[in-house]
Structure formats: structure tokens, C-alpha cells
Amino acid sequence: MDKIKVLVVDDHPMVLEGMQAMLSQIDFVFIAGLARNAYQAMELIKADMPDILITDISMPEIGGVELAAKLRKEYPVIKIIAMSTFNERSLISQMVQQGASGYLLKSASREQIEEAIITVNGNKLYMSLELELSKKEQDEMGKVPMLTSREKEVLSLIAEGFTNSQIAEKLFVSPYTVDSHRKNLLTKFDVNNTAGLIKLAAKHGLV
């Protein structure tokens, strides 16, 4: 078969170099280019359409999520593999929503990268093993209730250390209201104190 054309986007030179080194060890992969940001990536795509784009999630200016959104509209053929460090798991769902077909951790081995490329090229979803760890975690992900927009606001203010009445002032509502939101969060997510709420905020990328 033809070689699979892969484009890599990451703002860290070390990751870019590492990716290049590892991809060049895979014989069915052709490195279509290396980009340090979304703009460069768009140019390279225009010049030479890749089959797969491997992109970091968090980059300055235009992040991976935005880039994926753009590509889905303009070049829906390109498959996207998102890359992130361990501590950015909360962004997975966002990325998948934006049409990413794969998810790699930056701690991935050459074998995992290879597997991801093959899987995604075969129009299947690839999830890094470390990501789909325990069934428990998956279940938890599945049953995580949605945060309403107001709850997000309140939760992030709680995480910043404001008291109910301070939050009430900021949002121009009664302290009772804020307390209601707080209590809803406690019951909805089955935690029982502020510490739990802050963990929650972290999980949802509100800190």
C-alpha cells in the first residue's frame, strides 16, 4: 500500500523532534511535515494534503481543539490524532466532539504511535491504553452528569476560594441561590465538601 502521510503539530521542539525520530522508524509512514503551530499546519496542509494529522491539544494562540474544528470544516478527509500530557484528560471529550479519531499521550511508545496510525487510518477510533485504564474510570466518565453554565461559574468561583456570599455578590444573586447551586453540585457529583468540589473543578478544567 501507499505510505500514510502524517503531519505533526506541536509547539515543543523536543516533541516535534521526538515524533520525527519515531515516525521515521515506521516504514509505512511518510512525514508530510512538522509544524510548530496551527498557522504553519494550515499552510503545510494547503501545500500537501496529509492523511493524518497528529496535534498537541494545548498550544498558544490556536489550540488543538480549535484546529480540529477548523479542519473538520475545511478538510474533513484528514483524520486527527490528538496528543496531550497526562494531566489534560478533561479535554478528551472536547477533542472527540471536534472529530478527533485518536488520542495519544505524550508518554506514548513508538509501538503505540504506530498502532494509533494504523487504527485511525482504518477509520477506527484509537484510544491510548493508559487512557482507557480501569472500567471504573470509564464508568465514572460515562455517568458524570453535565454541568450547567451557571454551575460552572459557581464552581470555578468556589475553586478560587470565594465564599457563598462573595460569589452571590459577584453574580448579583442571593446567597441562597449560590448555596443551592453548591448543594446541587455536591449531590450530583456525590462529593461532600469543598475539597471534593475543587477536585471536580480541576477535572472539568475550570482551574
Partner DNA sequence: TCATCAATCCCTTTTTCAGGGGATTTTTTC
Partner DNA sequence: GAAAAAATCCCCTGAAAAAGGGATTGATGA
- Taking alpha carbons only, the member of 76, 34, 45, 40 closest to residue 60 is 40
Residue 174 binding partner per list its own copies, DNA, none, with a CB distance cut-off of 5 to 8 Å that depends on partner kind: DNA
**Structural contact between residues 182 and 191, judged by C-beta atoms closer than 8 angstroms:** no
Return the range that interacts with its own copies (CB under 8 A); candidates 73-81, 103-111, 127-135, 147-155: 103-111
Phi first, then psi, for residue 104 (nearest 5°) are -120, 150
CB 163 within 8 A of CB 153: no
- Quick check: 163 binds its own copies (CB under 8 A)? yes
Q: Which of 42, 120, 185, 198 contacts its own copies by CB under 8 A?
A: 198
Least distance to its own copies, CB of residue 91, Å = 14
Cell of 8: 505533526
3-class secondary structure, 30:
strand
Site for DNA, residues 14 to 43, rule: CB under 7 A: none
d(CA 164, CA 177): 9
- Cα 104 from Cα 57, distance rounded (Å): 10
Binding pattern for the stretch 153-192 against DNA, x by CB under 7 A and - elsewhere: ----------xxx-----x-xx-xx-xxxxx--xx----x
Query: Footprint of DNA on this chain (CB under 7 A)?
Result: 146, 148-151, 163-165, 171, 173-174, 176-177, 179-183, 186-187, 192-194, 197
Binding site for its own copies (CB under 8 A): 11-22, 85, 87, 106-110, 158-163, 191-196, 198-199
